[in-house]
Amino acid sequence: MLNKQIRQFPLLYVHQHSRAIVGYGAYEMAGVECKMYGITNALLVTTGLKGTGIIEEVCNVLKNAGISYTIFDKVTSNPKDFEVKEGAKVYIEAKCNGVVTVGGGSAHDAGKGIRLCVANEGEKTDLRNFMAVLNPHYTTRIPTYKVVNIPHVAINTTTGTGADCTAFAIINDTEWVYKLILVVPGIAPSVGISDPLLMRLQPNHMVAWSGMDALCHAIEPFIGRLNLPVSHATGLRAIKLIAENLREAYANPWNEKAIKNMAWAQLIASMSYNMGGGMGMVHGLAHMVSVIKEKHHGLTNAIMMIPVERFNMVAAPEKFAEIATAFGVDTRGMTKIQAAEKAIEEMEKLRNDVGITDISLKQFNFTDADIEHTVKWALNDLSYEANPRNMTGDDIRKIMKSMM
């Protein structure tokens, strides 16, 4: 008889990761990829990317492949529930049979949200029904969901998001002022196309913000309590690539080698959390700052990273010591704690070097009421699951007040 005495909960979920195409000129594959997945009439979802010429280029690629499209460019940074619902309405009215997203995480996550709505009750879909929280644990709800089987070609223009290949859609609930994390089978794009040719058009600050986001994607699962061996491998490699390339990519996004290495770093880093490593409270708290104050996801992660990781360090000093070596620090002769502290120093130095020097929450007029709103939501957020150190509401208050 099967001995069920040792039963693990939560079970570790390795989420679907998309196929990926990486390289200069990869965006030209968008047409054949659409055809392969049966997309003949696409909803092209974007924040606009005005002044870059990227949307015009992608439209030409689709036209040349004989694919018709309707542009939906009403998505904003931190995509909102009502934008996703409007996108679903346009998709249905235009009788689309697939989604193409062009941009960073906002475009890709909005595209995923639109597909989720179309696969359910269109614009009437209640996104809250699909939100991943810890109580009730999200994995217990997954078997009740309809699989999202609408094809999605995601063309990635930033070096940080990872959202072009992951099974999570992060959408603002504008009434709750909370970021819903939607985890539904099939929601990962069919293919993610990461093209350094487009990524080099990012402004310098965007390279910094999105690159720091990618660094958090690598670090949080690496030190996380889900302790997924896959994330140990991907995390360390991504950290090394970011440590070695983010400064140059930020200073000059046209530096071919640096931006290409960042394209790989963001993809590898996204595997770390998506393949089951989970996230941590840098993201947990950054999500709240960005939803309350409408700030860029990467910037808020960069701002929360050092205070939260200083708090976390005592829970996983060996892991932090390994991070120091990935940053190129010679840790021989150091104690575990000395090496771990070096890792935090290196993260901070990198963040400063890419121009993110003001990490006060005061700059966003963050108030005590905002801290209480954060406490109310953050501890049931999926991001908390993998955080290496237990965190209480008072811990959150202390961390955030120290940044006021």
Binding site for Fe ion (CB under 5 A): 213
**What ranges in 189-252 are assigned the alpha helix state H?**
196-199, 204-223, 229-251
Residue 322, helix vs strand vs coil: helix
* Residues sharing a CB contact under 8 Å with residue 248, sequence separation 6 or more, in sequence order: 255, 257, 258
CA distance 375 to 378: 6
Nearer to Fe ion, 237 or 287 (CB): 287
Which residue has the CB atom at the shortest distance from Fe ion?
213
Nearer to Fe ion, 83 or 213 (CB): 213
Nearer to Fe ion, 120 or 194 (CB): 194
Nearest approach, Cβ of residue 377 and Fe ion (Å): 17
Residue by residue, DSSP assigns 372-389 as HHHHHHHTTBGGGTT-SS
Look at residues 291, 303, 287 and name the one whose alpha carbon lies nearest to residue 363: 303
Nearest approach, Cβ of residue 296 and Fe ion (Å): 11
Nearest approach, Cβ of residue 7 and Fe ion (Å): 32
Q: What share of the chain is helix, strand, coil (3-state, %, to 5)?
A: 55, 10, 35
Nearest approach, Cβ of residue 217 and Fe ion (Å): 6
Nearer to Fe ion, 42 or 267 (CB): 267
- Partners of 20 in the beta sheet? 192
- Partners of 25 in the beta sheet? none
Nearest approach, Cβ of residue 234 and Fe ion (Å): 15
CA distance 159 to 365: 29
Nearest approach, Cβ of residue 1 and Fe ion (Å): 45
CA distance 94 to 96: 5
Nearer to Fe ion, 109 or 213 (CB): 213
Nearest approach, Cβ of residue 243 and Fe ion (Å): 18
Locus of tokens 């597909």: 115
Residue 254, helix vs strand vs coil: coil
Nearer to Fe ion, 138 or 209 (CB): 209
Residue 126 one-letter amino acid: D
- Edge-first strand order for the sheet with 98-103 is 19-22, 191-194, 152-156, 98-103, 41-46, 68-72
| Residue 13 DSSP code | P
Nearer to Fe ion, 213 or 381 (CB): 213
Residue 328, helix vs strand vs coil: coil
Nearer to Fe ion, 148 or 304 (CB): 304
Nearest approach, Cβ of residue 350 and Fe ion (Å): 16
